[in-house]
Amino acid sequence: MASHTRILSIAGVLALGALTAFAAPQGTAKSSTKTSTPKVSTHVVEGSVVAVSNDSLTLRSGKKDMTFKLNSETQKPASLAAGSQVSVNYHDEANQHLATSIQPSAAKANTKASTKK
């Protein structure tokens, strides 16, 4: 009878040890898993406004036209019209350029000196 009690005691200790061993990795797995947001790569471009509407802006930068999506979070000046020189901060989202802010920029001065004599 004493050996029977000893076997049950050993089995109980082993079962308790196994239970805590299996429970520990689950608790550490939760603490090591962190939810993080992916980094968004932002860009800046300057150019002349070609067209503007409530939800889009077309900008000519050099010889290239770029179209930006505007939303309620886009910071923009009250007066934004075709021909305005602006700087646009944006990031790419769902295969579109999403403008985060639009600021007026100074018109580029003509740097070519006149050489007529």
Residue 113: predicted pLDDT = 45
| Other beta carbons less than 10 A from residue 86's beta carbon | 21
Residue pair 66/51 in contact (Cβ under 8 Å)? The answer is: no
> And the tokens for 31?
């603490």
Residue 10: predicted pLDDT = 76
Least Cα distance to 81 among 38, 111, 103, 50 occurs for 50
20 SS3 class: helix
Residues with Cβ < 8 Å from 115, sequence gap 6 or more? none
Provide the whole-model pTM: 0.59
Q: What is the pLDDT along the chain (117 residues), one digit of tens a residue?
A: 677 777 767 766 666 666 566 665 554 444 445 566 667 789 999 999 999 999 999 999 999 999 999 999 999 998 899 999 999 999 999 999 999 999 999 765 444 444 454
Domain residue extents for the chain = 42-104
What is 42-104's CATH number? Answer: 2.40.50.320
Least Cα distance to 105 among 63, 56, 46, 49 occurs for 46
